[in-house]
């Protein structure tokens, strides 16, 4: 056998073996790709589940955590995933969401959940507040009571984001009147009006009262009894003892709920009356 023939034979064997290996690899690749894809999907699912389960607790402030603990009863479930959302507390069929800040971020969540479940939004309103200054180590440097006292009507400054939700049959709002500590630390160059004292958190001291608003009529019950039949926001502010801005937010919300009507203008001011 010539060297040329031997070379061709070896090359054929190598080619054939390589082709068989290539064919085997090609046959295995779809299966390997499927396995890798399934593994990647499982990893993403675990990460999403971890994020969903922890989202309510990792970024949870002290006030929120304290209110949740104060509100819970035996048998309540905390941080449950329902309808694709993490719900603070589940009590039987009732879903309870506790919100210490503005309501706007919760609008879509509450609207969707209230389509299938009874939903209660619990909102604290500070009627008394103590300003506590802390060192960087957490030591109390000073504490004083804030001269500003809150009122139940303050809820309308946050309700302007979701006024029509009270018209939903499965939605209700519970207002919790609280006493709180406002914690501050000194950060030079920040919070100019407070001379560098930055608010770092709030904590619950006590609960004074709670009031449930289940219907627009319940919200209208916060109007002062001494109001005349026709009134503008200046008269509402005077009768309720609140600022004009809050009176405007109050009438906006109540009009959106359908419990207030407009009745023209008087000296340039919109006149309101209770809906029939």
Is it the case that residue 259 has pLDDT exceeding 50? Answer: yes
Q: How many alpha carbons fall within 13 Å on the CB side of residue 272?
A: 23
CATH topology for the 216-276 domain: Arc Repressor Mutant, subunit A (1.10.10)
Beta strands 269-274 and 260-266, pairing class:
antiparallel
Is it the case that residue 86 has pLDDT exceeding 90? Answer: yes
Specify the pLDDT at position 165. 95
Distance CA 198, CA 184 (A): 5
- pLDDT tens, residue by residue, 167-211: 999 999 999 999 999 898 888 877 767 777 888 889 999 999 999
133: part of which helix (H) or strand (E)? strand 119-134
Specify the pLDDT at position 29. 60
| Structure tokens that stand for 70 in this block | 């104060």
- Report, as an integer, the average pLDDT of 47-58: 38
Is it the case that residue 14 has pLDDT exceeding 80? Answer: no
- Report, as an integer, the average pLDDT of 86-109: 95
Is it the case that residue 16 has pLDDT exceeding 70? Answer: no
Specify the pLDDT at position 37. 56
DSSP alpha helices (H): ranges in the chain? 3-58, 62-71, 107-113, 156-159, 216-220, 233-240, 244-257
Specify the pLDDT at position 110. 96
8 Å CB contact between 188 and 171: no
Specify the pLDDT at position 223. 96
Question: Closest by alpha carbon to 159, among 115, 230, 99, 225?
Answer: 99
- Report, as an integer, the average pLDDT of 135-156: 90
8 Å CB contact between 55 and 47: no
Question: 33 falls in which pLDDT band (50, 70, 90)?
Answer: low
Distance CA 138, CA 181 (A): 14
Is it the case that residue 75 has pLDDT exceeding 90? Answer: yes
| Structure tokens that stand for 146 in this block | 């804030």
The residue ranges of every structural domain in the chain are 1-59, 61-214, 216-276
Q: What angle do CA 155, 211, 219 make, to 5 degrees?
A: 55
Is it the case that residue 41 has pLDDT exceeding 90? Answer: no
CA of 161: how far to CAs of 106, 135, 172, 222, 260, in Å? 9, 36, 15, 18, 18
| Structure tokens that stand for 166 in this block | 């009270």
Is it the case that residue 48 has pLDDT exceeding 60? Answer: no
Q: How much is the mean pLDDT over the chain? A: 83
């Amino acid at each position: 056998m010539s060297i040329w023939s031997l070379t061709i034979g070896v090359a054929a064997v190598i080619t054939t073996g390589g082709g068989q290996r290539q064919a085997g690899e090609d046959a295995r690749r779809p299966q390997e790709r499927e396995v890798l894809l399934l593994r990647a999907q499982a990893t993403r699912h675990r990460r999403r589940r971890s994020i969903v389960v922890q989202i309510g607790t990792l970024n949870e402030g002290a006030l929120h955590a304290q209110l949740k603990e104060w509100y819970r009863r035996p048998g309540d479930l905390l941080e449950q995933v329902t309808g694709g959302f993490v719900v603070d507390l589940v009590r039987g069929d009732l879903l309870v969401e506790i919100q210490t800040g503005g309501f706007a971020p919760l609008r879509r969540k509450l609207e969707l959940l209230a389509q299938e479940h009874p939903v209660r939004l619990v909102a604290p309103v500070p009627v008394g507040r103590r300003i506590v200054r802390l060192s960087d180590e957490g030591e109390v440097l000073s504490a004083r009571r804030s001269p500003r006292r809150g009122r139940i009507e303050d809820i309308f400054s946050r309700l302007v984001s979701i006024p029509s939700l009270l018209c939903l049959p499965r939605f209700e709002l519970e207002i919790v009147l609280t006493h709180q500590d406002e914690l501050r630390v000194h950060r030079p160059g920040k919070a100019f009006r407070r001379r560098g004292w930055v608010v770092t958190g709030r904590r619950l001291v006590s609960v004074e009262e709670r009031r449930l608003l289940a219907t627009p009529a319940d919200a209208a019950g916060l109007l002062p009894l001494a109001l005349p039949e026709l009134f503008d926001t200046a008269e509402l502010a005077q009768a309720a003892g609140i600022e004009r801005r809050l009176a405007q937010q109050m009438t906006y919300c109540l009009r959106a709920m359908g419990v207030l009507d407009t009745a023209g203008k008087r000296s340039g001011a919109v006149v309101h009356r209770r809906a029939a």
